[in-house]
Structure 1
Amino acid sequence: MKKEDRREQKKVTYKEARVYLDEMSKYGSVLGLDTIRGLLRELGNPQESLKFIHIAGTNGKGSVLAYTSTILSEAGYRIGRYVSPTVISYLERIQMNGRWISEEEFAELTEKVKEAIARLKAAGENLPTVFETETAIAFLYFRKMNCDFVVLETGLGGELDATNIVKNTVCAVFATISRDHLGVIGNTLEEIAQTKAGIIKNGCAVVSAQQKETVSEILKKRAEASDCSYREADLSRFLVEKEDYHGIRFSYKEYKNLRGSLAGECQIANLATALEVIRTLNALGISVPETAVRKGLEETRWPGRFTFLMEHPVFLVDGAHNEDAAQKLRMSMERYFPGRRLILILGVFKDKEYEKIASILCPLAQQVYTVDLPNVERTLPAEKLAECAKKYCRQTAAAGRIEDAVEKAMKAAERAGQRTADSEASAADGEPVILACGSLSYLGDVIRLVEKSYGTRTRGTGKEEK
């Protein structure tokens, strides 16, 4: 045997794995299950040994996932999480009990999937998209970690989403469904709901947020046709006892005096939905004691969703990227900060309803700074977004770079605070609030910048595997 043949083959590094996946991302995405079915077959179908809580929806599915998975972890189960998009780190998308997959494990599993794709290519088979590849990596990891359950968030839609390759769905969950991705997964709310309802599997339990009547009817009919039980959150049974931008103290049905660690108008629906999931699991014989519910809600962290960063000035980030989310964000700002000056940092994708988002949020602001997003191909240029925002807030400027927008917003807040002190105006009227919102894709950069330069009080951004 030649010396070079005996030499151990060089392993793929994390950086090389990311370069490989970044190259794949240039080819876009394709809805359908045939390709990922072939890839997973080549990998030994790791998903078939796992049980899933599968979550679809337009707004709130990430928060429902965070509550549900944290509660189940507190109950002693080994819980996998698969989420997208990520905010702090690429590694966030694959977690076990709240800890991110390590760089070494990610590289090792990417190498396995890369080898499988090479075999498919040699056989003339269709090659997977980057999301399908990432999904396969996640399933391999969750099987390796012997997860009791995987809480799985759909990528786009439901029926033809790559995550819908799974069969062992214990519970299909629906966060709030509204109009988004028009023309991709449907042209009307009803068509979108039908597509998302595709995650329902025969005999699984179905849990939904409180929906518009037409959406509820679609989900109920699909559940009935698939011989599934159906529960829907009842917001009339949700009692808010105390609420501010640090969280919500509330009661829901038999659960009394709980504390949710996430704030925002949308969290009421998300909390009720997550608790209905837990009630359903208990009914199925999957034991989740109230102590785990209580501690899980308090320990839940979900960066980028009405996340509080610092107190003076108050600095928040929120990934409101469509009309429904923007409306709920506006309601939260008006509820928690009535009469306060708002400095807005805004960045959105060009394929989103940016005119509606601007019309909802920009009238609240005294100053708006628009930014370009890291995804150059999808970003709405800061200059074009500024032109739109100026219709609703005259003091609008295209900052362009995220760093410049954060610096300008902090300086504007400092000047406003100083004017308040000099004029002896009330703190409520004078101390400004900074809100960075729009796409989730740039909020991680905002969080890191604020943390590095201003000493943020971030309220949990996930736990990285050491």
Structure 2
Amino acid sequence: MNWQQSMAWLESLGQFGSRPGLERINQVLDILGHPERELDVIHVAGTNGKGSVCTFISSVLTAAGYRTGLYTSPHLTAYTERFQIDGVAAPKEELAQYFTQVRSAVDMLQADRNLVLTEFEVLTVVAFLYFAARRVDCLVLEVGMGGRLDATNVVTPKLAVITRIGLDHMGVLGDTLGAIAREKAGIIKTQVPVVLGAQEPEAAAALRSMAKEKKAAVYAAEDLVSVYSKEYDLSGQRFDIKLSDCLLPDLSIKLLGPHQLENTATAVCALQALSDQGISVSDDALRRGLAEASWPGRFEVIKKEPLAIVDGAHNPDGAEALVRTVGEYLDGSQRLLVLGVLEDKDVNSILKVFATIARKAIVTRPESPRAAKPEEVAARLKVLGVDAIVEPDISLAVDKALSLARPQDVVLVCGSLYLAGKARTHLLETNLPYCQYGHRSGSKQV
């Protein structure tokens, strides 16, 4: 198959949705010779921040000279974004070779056992084939959903990392922090070290219990890494990091918001754990890797006037992190929201958070079959006191917000990564000037 044929086949699998379980993917990997067993994997789960943590880790490892693969989901604009080596997306036609191999294996199993893989399972097998063929030194592997039954959980990693856990995918993972944490803890393997990002007590207890059961050494970022914020504006953040045995001053990241400093601490803790296994990085590589890390669609300032920001926050904790970041960086500004959410999320809780910062909302439809109806979302926002109008087309919704914005206003696109990608592309294509402000300074521990 070529790339277009590969995408057509992949799209045909969307009808099968998400079906947790490892039996199907293991049967395909049996036929393909288990390429995942050739890879040194850093396996990352969590509710919020896991993509950012993956990006920080992979960027630092690349800066240290390791050939580093990165597998994430979902993508913002193109499937190739999910497969990166040293920050470069995979070539389409090379990936098409691996889609062809996976389809051949699936066809064999379908004829024999009526087995059909989901879209995410196919993408994950393609990732294993691609990164194994490219002989990466390390693969930073992001969990799709949950952990225990996620397709990525066929690996035995060198290190597991679990970022902050919140309430999301409750219909599948459970409706308490403890239940969700137990699902995420499924990536912890026997005697494989695990790094824990900052957690609520209920989640931390569940994670530590699983680590104890698996005899897995625990590296707790809250205990081992302290981050002291020094200065921040819309171009990035500057801070010091204190480890158990040293101080690293004047580090910087481009990603914005206090939560990104928490993610930085988790990533640095993971790099410490890797150094104990012989995968070491210098202070200079750490500094360069953090500074160069880029993760689009996460409180990303797009060069527009009025100021326009795209953020993929899509659950209550993510929404609260976004609201805190808006308060830190954009004091006194009025916010026009371009908002769309998925119907299988905790929509009421998300909207209550976003309503606290919205002067007006243009409600649109994310590019997903799971998108909530804009008319229903707008009606809920009006009950919360927000002036809301409906424009189902994402590009037109963005244009509407820009036309309504005053010079002092901020246009904020939020609610779903399936909205962020299309809106981001449209904003970049308009190529209007960028208005920079919002500088802050001071010192505080995060």
TM-score, L = length of structure 2: 0.94
1:111 aligns with 100
Query: Given the superposition, is the C-alpha separation of residues 172 and 343 from structure 1 closer, same or farther in structure 2, using an over 3 Å criterion?
Result: same
- Specify which of 317, 322, 329 is matched with residue 329 of structure 1: 322
CA-CA distance at 1:388 after TM superposition: 1.0
2:179 aligns with 191
CA-CA distance at 1:42 after TM superposition: 0.6
Tell me, in whole angstroms, the C-alpha distance in 1 between the residues paired with 2:383 and 2:300. Answer: 28
CA-CA distance at 1:311 after TM superposition: 5.0
- Specify which of 449, 457, 465 is matched with residue 426 of structure 2: 449
Letter aligned with residue 298 of structure 1: A
SS across alignment from 1:87: coil
CA-CA distance at 1:244 after TM superposition: 2.3
Indicate whether 1:172 and 2:149 are aligned: no
1:305 aligns with 298
Tell me, in whole angstroms, the C-alpha distance in 2 between the residues paired with 1:392 and 1:18. Answer: 41
Q: Give 5+ residue unaligned stretches, structure 1.
A: 1-11, 418-430, 459-466
Residues 351-410 of structure 1 deviation map (CA, whole Å, 9 limit, x = unaligned)? 1112111111123121110001222x2111111111111123442111111111111111
1:258 aligns with 251
Root-mean-square deviation over aligned CA pairs: 1.5
Residues 88-125 of structure 1 deviation map (CA, whole Å, 9 limit, x = unaligned)? 21111111111111110111110111111111122225
Report which stretch shifted further, 353-362 or 171-180.
Answer: 353-362
Query: Given the superposition, is the C-alpha separation of residues 340 and 65 from structure 1 closer, same or farther in structure 2, using an over 3 Å criterion?
Result: same
- Specify which of 376, 380, 394 is matched with residue 384 of structure 1: 376
1:399 aligns with 391
Tell me, in whole angstroms, the C-alpha distance in 1 between the residues paired with 2:239 and 2:353. Answer: 28
Tell me, in whole angstroms, the C-alpha distance in 1 between the residues paired with 2:9 and 2:50. Answer: 29
1:434 aligns with 411
CA contact (8 A) 2:181 2:207 kept: yes
Tell me, in whole angstroms, the C-alpha distance in 2 between the residues paired with 1:161 and 1:321. Answer: 20
Letter aligned with residue 286 of structure 2: V
Tell me, in whole angstroms, the C-alpha distance in 2 between the residues paired with 1:124 and 1:444. Answer: 37
Letter aligned with residue 316 of structure 2: E
CA contact (8 A) 2:358 2:386 kept: no
Indicate whether 1:29 and 2:18 are aligned: yes
Report which stretch shifted further, 63-72 or 184-193.
Answer: 184-193
1:5 aligns with none
CA-CA distance at 1:183 after TM superposition: 2.3
- Specify which of 327, 345, 367 is matched with residue 352 of structure 1: 345
Report which stretch shifted further, 121-130 or 290-299.
Answer: 121-130
Letter aligned with residue 407 of structure 1: D
Letter aligned with residue 401 of structure 1: D
SS across alignment from 1:450: helix
Residues 295-349 of structure 1 deviation map (CA, whole Å, 9 limit, x = unaligned)? 1111111011111112521110111111111111111111111111111110000
Tell me, in whole angstroms, the C-alpha distance in 2 between the residues paired with 1:180 and 1:44. Answer: 34
Residues 115-148 of structure 1 deviation map (CA, whole Å, 9 limit, x = unaligned)? 1111112222532221111111000000011011
Indicate whether 1:368 and 2:361 are aligned: yes
CA contact (8 A) 2:355 2:386 kept: no
Structure with greater Cα Rg: 1
CA-CA distance at 1:25 after TM superposition: 1.2
SS across alignment from 1:258: strand
CA contact (8 A) 2:194 2:216 kept: yes
TM-score, L = length of structure 1: 0.90
CA contact (8 A) 1:367 1:393 kept: no
Tell me, in whole angstroms, the C-alpha distance in 1 between the residues paired with 2:218 and 2:434. Answer: 40
2:438 aligns with none
Letter aligned with residue 409 of structure 1: A
- Specify which of 19, 25, 47 is matched with residue 36 of structure 2: 47
SS across alignment from 1:207: strand
SS across alignment from 1:308: strand
1:338 aligns with 331
Query: Given the superposition, is the C-alpha separation of residues 451 and 165 from structure 1 closer, same or farther in structure 2, using an over 3 Å criterion?
Result: same
Query: Given the superposition, is the C-alpha separation of residues 49 and 456 from structure 1 closer, same or farther in structure 2, using an over 3 Å criterion?
Result: farther
CA-CA distance at 1:456 after TM superposition: 6.6
CA contact (8 A) 1:86 1:93 kept: yes
Tell me, in whole angstroms, the C-alpha distance in 1 between the residues paired with 2:92 and 2:431. Answer: 29
Letter aligned with residue 206 of structure 2: I
Identity fraction in percent: 36
2:441 aligns with none
CA-CA distance at 1:457 after TM superposition: 6.3
1:411 aligns with 403
Letter aligned with residue 50 of structure 2: K
Tell me, in whole angstroms, the C-alpha distance in 2 between the residues paired with 1:157 and 1:64. Answer: 16
SS across alignment from 1:390: helix
Tell me, in whole angstroms, the C-alpha distance in 1 between the residues paired with 2:212 and 2:222. Answer: 20
CA contact (8 A) 2:305 2:433 kept: no
CA contact (8 A) 1:72 1:288 kept: yes
CA-CA distance at 1:272 after TM superposition: 0.6
Letter aligned with residue 295 of structure 1: R
Any residues of structure 2 matched to 1:157-168 within 5 Å, and which?
157-167=146-156
